[in-house]
Amino acid sequence: MYSQDVAATRAIETFKCLNEDHPLELYVLMYEDSYEEERYLSSLQRENEAIETLIKEQSLLLAPREFDVSRDSTSQLRRLTTPQRRDTRYLRSGSSKASQMFLCEDEEEENMENRQKVIVDLREFNSELPTVLYRRGIDLMAAMLEVGDYILSPDICCERKSPDDLTQSLLSGRIFKQVEQMKKCYKYYILLIESAEKYRNRNNPFQGEMSRYSRNVRSLFAILIREYPNLQVLWSVSPSHSAELFEELKLDQSEPILEIALKKKRDCNAEGIVDRAD
C-alpha cells in the first residue's frame, strides 16, 4: 500500500478476520519523518481517542441495555384480601389437559379483573414510583393531569413531593394552590412526601439543597396543615414504600375512571381555580 489510510487498513484487517484461510500480507510504503507518516500517526491517535471516549461515555449511560418488564399478575396485598375462587371441576385428579388449560385461562381473566388501576400524571414518569407500581401488578393510565399526580379512586387524589420539591413548593406558594384544587375536586386529598436513601440518616427531613430555608419551611408547612386540616400527609421512605401505601389506600375502593378524572379537572377550572403550573 503506497497511500496509507486508517480506514483502508481496518477494512483489510476485517477481511483477514473473516477469511482466515486466505493468506494475506500487507506492505506499506512510506517515507520516514514525512508528511504522510505524520498524517497517518495523527489518524491513529484520533482513532484511539475516539474509542476511549466511546468507552467512557458508555460507562456513564443511565439507560440499561436490557429492560426488565416482568411484573406481578396482581398486587400482593390485593391477592391476600381477595377471596380465591376455586373450581372443583378442574381440580379433580386425572383432569384432562384441556380442562387445565381452561382453568389457567379463567385464572388469567380473574387476575385481569382484580388488577388495581391508578391514573398517573405524565410528568411523574420521570420518577421511579410509576415503574414500581407497574411491577407490583398495578395498571397505569397516563394523562396530563391538572389536579394531583396520582388518582387512586374516584374519591382519592394524591400529590407526590420529594423533600426538596416540597421545600420549593412551600417557598413559592404553589403547594397551597395544588392542595386547594384537590380539596375542591376530591373527597380525600393526600400529600405524599417521598424521601430517598440519602435522607434516611438525617435528623431534619427538610435538609438538602434548600436546607438554608429550614426554619421558613417548617413555618410554611405548619401553616399548610392548619389551613387544610383535612389534608392527609403521608411520609414515605422509598418508592417501594409509596407503592405499598397506595395499595392499602385502594382497598375497598372503586377503580378510577380516566374520563371522570378529566371532567373533574374541567369542572374545577370552570369554578375559577388557578391551574397548576409544574
Q: What gap in Å lies between CA 171 and CA 208, rounded to an integer?
A: 14
How confident is the model over 207-223, as pLDDT tens digits? Answer: 555 556 678 888 999 99
pLDDT of 276: 42
Q: What gap in Å lies between CA 45 and CA 49, rounded to an integer?
A: 6
Which pTM was predicted? 0.60
pLDDT-above-70 percentage for the chain: 69
In this predicted structure, the answer to whether residue 94 has a pLDDT above a threshold of 70 is: no
* Structure confidence at residue 278 as a pLDDT band (50, 70, 90): very low
Strands, sheet with 188-194, edge to edge from the N-terminal-most edge strand? 139-143, 117-121, 150-153, 156-161, 188-194, 232-236
Q: What gap in Å lies between CA 262 and CA 139, rounded to an integer?
A: 18
Nearest Cα residue to 248 out of 234, 237, 238: 234
* Structure confidence at residue 90 as a pLDDT band (50, 70, 90): very low
Residue 139 · residue 254 · CB < 8 Å? no
pLDDT of 161: 94
What is the average per-residue pLDDT within 24-51? 87
pLDDT of 269: 59
pLDDT of 174: 93
What is the average per-residue pLDDT within 78-99? 51
Rounded to the nearest angstrom, the gap between the alpha carbon of residue 72 and the centroid of all alpha carbons in its chain is 16
Residue 225's alpha-carbon distances to 45, 151, 187, 221, 232, in angstroms, are 63, 21, 17, 6, 9
* Structure confidence at residue 31 as a pLDDT band (50, 70, 90): confident
DSSP 90-137: GSSTT--HHHHHHHHHHHHHHHHHH--EEEEEGGGGGSSHHHHHHHTT
* Structure confidence at residue 79 as a pLDDT band (50, 70, 90): low
* Kind of pairing between the strands at 117-121 and 156-161: unpaired
Structural domains of the chain sorted by starting position, each given as residue range(s) with its CATH number in brackets = 6-59 (no CATH), 68-114 (no CATH), 116-270 (3.40.50.10130)
How confident is the model over 231-273, as pLDDT tens digits? Answer: 999 999 999 999 999 999 998 899 999 988 888 766 665 555 4
In this predicted structure, the answer to whether residue 132 has a pLDDT above a threshold of 80 is: yes
* Kind of pairing between the strands at 117-121 and 139-143: parallel
Nearest Cα residue to 8 out of 51, 38, 32, 40: 40
pLDDT of 87: 46
Helix (H) or strand (E) holding 141: strand 139-143
In this predicted structure, the answer to whether residue 228 has a pLDDT above a threshold of 70 is: yes
* Structure confidence at residue 164 as a pLDDT band (50, 70, 90): confident
pLDDT of 89: 44
